[in-house]
Amino acid sequence: MPSLESVSIDCRTVLVLGGARSGKSRYAQALAEAAKPQRLFVATAEPGDAEMAARIARHQADRGAGWRTREAPLELAAALRAEARQDRAVLVDCVTLWLSNLMFAGRDLSAEISILAKEIREIRGPVILVSNEVGLGIVPESPLGREFRDWQGRANQELAKVCDAVAFLAAGLPILLKPAPSPNLRLR
């Protein structure tokens, strides 16, 4: 992973996107650790089975000391409102699991995404959001899978609009998407 000193951008909110096993969580954790000595991990995962419980335990061990954890499988905007402050970095991992939790709970996804985006615009301290980019692969076979993929794309777009910076991870390498120069294309 390139040095965090290689690019310096003044920002308060960062959306870190990537596919499964892309390195997005590790990158987001490094950003938070470089930002503030006080750090809060907002967890959206619920240990529904043994594999997920083991995954959660591994992530907790990887974070080590210096981190506090708050569980927010559904009420993410409320957790950020209560916890974000200038002297502490907040890392949300991940928007994808939060969205699936909302979907299975029968919540209004459009309203929930809007509430979260509004909270991010008004947030009081540094926040890093991790989210999966699920639209780069094959079209899901099931209607539920396609519906989820579409909602995840909408959520990522809304959050990208309101975050100061957006990074995309592929093979553990970050690509800065925002801020980015606007192309000056002239079509002929």
The answer to whether residue 5 is domain-embedded is no
Residue 183 domain-assigned (yes or no)? no
Catalytically active residues, by annotation: 59
The answer as to whether 145 is a domain residue is yes
Number of structural domains the chain divides into:
1
Per-residue pLDDT tens listing for the chain (188 residues): 344 446 677 899 999 999 988 999 999 999 999 998 899 999 998 888 899 888 888 888 888 788 999 999 999 999 999 999 999 999 999 999 999 999 999 999 999 999 999 999 999 899 999 999 998 888 899 999 999 999 999 999 999 999 999 999 999 999 999 998 777 777 77
* C-alpha distances out from residue 143 to 139, 140, 147, 150, Å: 10, 8, 6, 11
The amino acid present at 106, given as its one-letter code, is G
Assessment of whether the complete model's pTM goes beyond 0.85: yes
Give domain status of residue 188, yes or no: no
186 in any annotated domain: no
